[in-house]
Structure 1
Amino acid sequence: MGTTFCMASFAFHLRVLDQAGLLFRASVSVQHLIQGSLVFSNERQYRTMPTHGIGKYKHLLPKEAPKKKKERQQMKQIKTATDAEYGTLNVKVSGYDMILVEHYSQYIHNLCNRLGVKVAESYALPTKSTEVMVMPEQGTKMYVDAILKTHERIVQLSQLNATLCPTFMEVLLKNQPEGIQLSVKPHTEADYQARFKARPELEGLMAQMT
């Protein structure tokens, strides 16, 4: 009886060991398959594929129109005076203090807006420099004592009413700061050319070419 029980238990253990061995071999084979698939998926196949255009997006944007070359500024037509209105007038403000010149020209522009006077343009002219020469009491050699810079602003008016002009000028003169010069004259082609800084060296080269 004891021998039969031992044989039965031994056979049972063998059966269990066989099943465990089958499970171990199956798990090892599955692990090999998984590892093989991972190795296969990690292969760098993209090295053989073209990469042109990756990261570029400009071809997706709409095409922009070519930029036009900046045309040279042309002189506007000078309006002539009539019986009821003046033509194109230049209100010129000049002085040595740039802040006063700038503020007074802004005041003129604002006054024109309040009175309904049309302002065609408002611009600055090139700054002019004047050297003040001094001669010492003993000696004949002069030296530069100071350099005065003249700042100029132009407020260009168009179609100023003749009946409004006296009142307009009276208000300007009453509010004119000290040290500021004011002049009003018709606009000419020479005034337009004065807006641009002279370049004698360039003009000389152009004269040689022609």
Structure 2
Amino acid sequence: MNPVIRKLQASFALHSRALDHAGLLFGASLSVQHPIQGCLSFSNERQYRTMPTHGIGKYKHLLPKEAPKKKKERQQMKQIKMATYTEYGTLNVNVSGYDMILVEHYSQYVHNLCNRLGVKVAESYALPTKSTEVMVMPEQGTKMYVDAILKTHERIVQLSQLNATLCPTFMEVLLKNQPEGIQLSVKPHTEADYQTRFKARPELEGLMAQIT
């Protein structure tokens, strides 16, 4: 046989073996890649939605638990302290007048003076505003008409355990700094004074009477 033909046959056989080997490797790579494609198709089904998240993305379980809010109870009157040999009991410093700004400023002055002198202030509050109609009768005729409406503003500074030796000096300072148009009075606190803090509601009281 011609040697040229032999060389061609040998090279052809070598190439065929190389192609067969490459085919085996390519088939193996396909067999290895096939499970990956299966995983990709499996992940597209979103099976993780059925899995528990265990609070992922939530923060409320990390916050400390708050105590339940208590129902607001109706305000009750505090116990009235009685006077002793060295101290007064519960006293009400009543500041009233027609000018609300003066009344408010003077009541603040009384409160600040108590803080400086070491007098214990139990409470400081405002009473409901009272309206007074000024009626005028004309010279001719008997029919009266309203000429003006005066509004009285009141503030209470409630003192507790005022020292008897300090009381004269305390009252002297208050009277010397009392502005014009402001009325000042000091008296012991009573249960009737506590009831005047609340605005009267006759309609509500009538309904409550019908229920009871």
TM-score (norm 1): 0.78
Deviations 1:127-160 (A, max 9, x none): 2233445678898876656543322110111222
Distance 1:27 1:83, change over 3 A: closer
Once superposed, what is the RMSD of the aligned Cα atoms?
A: 3.2
Deviations 1:38-69 (A, max 9, x none): 22344343566678988777677776554443
* Identical columns (%): 92
Distance 1:12 1:134, change over 3 A: farther
Distance 1:189 1:10, change over 3 A: same
Aligned length: 204
Structure 1 Cα separation of the partners of residues 22 and 144 of structure 2: 118
| Partner residue, 2:193 | 191
200-209 vs 81-90, which moves further: 81-90
Distance 1:112 1:33, change over 3 A: closer
71-80 vs 38-47, which moves further: 38-47
Distance 1:183 1:26, change over 3 A: same
Distance 1:140 1:10, change over 3 A: farther
Shift in Å, 1:200: 0.6
96-105 vs 36-45, which moves further: 36-45
Distance 1:83 1:55, change over 3 A: same
TM-score (norm 2): 0.77
| Partner residue, 1:51 | 53
Q: Tell me, what secondary structure is at the counterpart of 1:9?
A: helix
147-156 vs 51-60, which moves further: 51-60
Distance 1:102 1:25, change over 3 A: same
Shift in Å, 1:192: 0.7
Shift in Å, 1:171: 0.5
* Equivalent residue in structure 2 for 1:28, among 27, 30, 35: 30
Structure 1 Cα separation of the partners of residues 33 and 42 of structure 2: 14
Q: Tell me, what secondary structure is at the counterpart of 1:23?
A: helix
Q: Tell me, what secondary structure is at the counterpart of 1:83?
A: coil
Distance 1:20 1:135, change over 3 A: farther
Shift in Å, 1:118: 2.0
Distance 1:73 1:25, change over 3 A: same
Structure 2 Cα separation of the partners of residues 14 and 37 of structure 1: 35
